[in-house]
Structure 1
Amino acid sequence: MAAVSLADVALADVAPPSACGPDALGTARVMAVGGGIRVGTKSYPDTLALADREVVLTFDDGPWPATTPAVLDALARECVKATFFLIGENAEARPALARRIVAEGHTVGHHTWSHPILTKIATADALAEIERGMAADDRASYGAAAAPRVPFFRFPGFADTPALLEELARRNVAVFGADLWASDWRQMTPEAELDLVMLRLRDAGRGIVLFHDTKRHTAEMMPAFLRALKAAGYRVVHIVPERIGPERIPAQTIPGRPVY
């Protein structure tokens, strides 16, 4: 995949740490990501062009009433922006939470309508599942279905197929894997999850990090995790869709190496 230039969106678009207090982690910069790319070394050869100790925080499977608000509260206290890959049926059932995610400046990506493993169903049915999820996410988040408004998608279980990847690329949809994950689908204490994620971050040095905002231990861990990022000198990068027109700012992809 050809690399193109990397640039920041105007820093005025980023809430400074001082908005939350001088010790807040904050969001260091915004990266505009173009459609059609595939990133995340758990699944693909390339990843986003992040500097050392830069991380992109992503959350799957929400919104969930018992846990997503606590995750959002923790992010708000630290002026941190993240990307939430929503399940369509969850967004449709809880539009107020989807709207809160958008209102607080986070990015809404897509994670199908009902979280099936798409490799187990026919391509036409898989595409219908993706389209239904995107439309539901957009209706819940913005009040109307778009095309989608944010063309970011993550496969449930990272289970893609060549046909689905080709079709999403044709539609200019960016596909996100991850560079490392919290393994928070396993039951563990918040303390154990924090130790695991920070160990993996130390090994990786940077990357797209996958959490699930549906997991109570992740929600309970999040305040301590954000403080640990600050203490260790990590910086948060917020991903958004690229601008269209003369101000278009695409993201760069770089070859990655598999990490945890």
Structure 2
Amino acid sequence: MKRLLLAAALLCATASTSSACGPDALGVSRTLPVGTLGGGEVGLKTYPRTLRLEPGEVVLTFDDGPAPGRTEKVLDALAAECVKATFFMIGRNAAAAPALAARVAREGHTIGYHSMTHPIMRGLAFDAGRKNIEDGFHAVDKAVYGVARDEPHSPFFRFPGFADTPQLDAWLASRDMVVFGADLWASDWEPESSDAELKLIFERLARSKGGIVLLHDIQPRTVAMLPTFLRELKKRGYRVVHFVPGPGPLETREAPPGWFSQTDRIIKGRKAAGAG
């Protein structure tokens, strides 16, 4: 019930903001309720399924914040274009900047969790991984909503580095939580310029025809390129979809033929390099 009330509040916030937007703003083309009953996983970089998006639709997601001095600028850029996004917050960062974390929700963006301290879960025992995730739930909820209960306020989680485990996936599913990967990423953890990041992400969008986009509100290069990125999305005909918690089970679109988990390939490559 708490999650349904939260979803209704997000829908109202999106509608009221969109109604105030002029025709030149990018805006939100539609709000997508994502069912979480029984859990599930989405995002083609890791999983063989994703959200039911149409060609040209993009979902904007930001990881690792909130980051004082940076997340504010991201929120300002989104507000200028009347766009809503999803922020997967690290617990310790939310606890260190509660007013900023609360602002994200107050402005109608969806909140997700990204663990307490951002460990790579495949290197942890199950109990340690579960505790880190639960601590993240509590820290984010306390910062954003002022109170943390047994049930997380939001049903959305993203693994650090997308490095999930079958055991943790099953545990999250038992709590009716959806695990988010991404369909494409901006690679903004690399030492690239804002211009290079902008060029790269549009090359990837052209190939994927849209999808769930991974960005980081802690990265200065992303903060710098975001206003131009949003204007270019509008100019190039892309449409932003904002997802919120919804009733019922998760509805997905299956991966195309030839799909493979790029996440697993990267993780295995790193392990092989370390072994060498």
Normalising by structure 1, we get a TM-score of 0.90
Contact 1:57 1:210 in 2 (8 A): yes
- Pick from 32, 40, 45: which aligns with 2:43? 40
- The residue correspondences of 1:72-221 to structure 2 (distance < 5 A) are 72-146=75-149, 147-221=151-225
Count residues with an aligned counterpart. Answer: 247
Identity %: 55
**In structure 2, the residue corresponding to 1:32 is in which secondary structure?**
strand
| 1:24 equivalent in structure 2 | 25
Q: What is the RMSD of the two structures over their aligned residues, measured on CA atoms?
A: 1.8
1:182-216 CA-partner distances (Å, limit 9, x unpaired): 00000111111111001100100021000000000
Q: Which runs of 5+ in 1 are unaligned?
A: 1-8, 243-247
Judged with a 3 Å threshold, the aligned counterparts in structure 2 of structure 1 residues 64 and 12 are, in CA distance, closer, same or farther, namely closer
CA 1:121/1:213 → structure 2, altered by over 3 Å: closer, same or farther?
same
The partner residue of 1:64 within 63, 67, 81 is: 67
- Cα distance, 1:180–1:167 mapped onto 2, change above 3 Å: same
CA gap of 1:124–1:12, structure 2 versus 1, over 3 A, is closer
CA change 1:236–1:135 in 2 (3 A) is: same
Would the aligned equivalents of 1:31 and 1:240 in 2 still touch at CA under 8 Å?
yes
Residue identity in the other structure for 1:252: E
Q: Give the Cα–Cα distance (whole angstroms) in 2 for the partners of residues 102 and 96 of structure 1.
A: 10
Q: CA deviation at 1:16?
A: 6.0
For 1:72 and 1:256, locate their aligned partners in 2 and report how far apart those are by CA, in whole Å: 32
1:252 is displaced (CA, Å) by 2.3
**Stretches (4+) displaced over 4 A:** 9-13, 15-18
**Kept in 1: contact 2:194–2:221 (CA 8 A):** yes
In structure 2, what is the equivalent of residue 6 of structure 1? none
Q: Is the 8 Å Cα contact of residues 40 and 250 (structure 2) preserved in structure 1? A: no
In the alignment, structure 2 segments of 5+ residues that lack a partner are: 1-9, 263-276
Distance 1:139 1:217 in 2: 29
**Is 1:256 aligned with 2:220?**
no
Q: CA deviation at 1:21?
A: 2.4
With normalisation by structure 2, the TM-score equals: 0.85
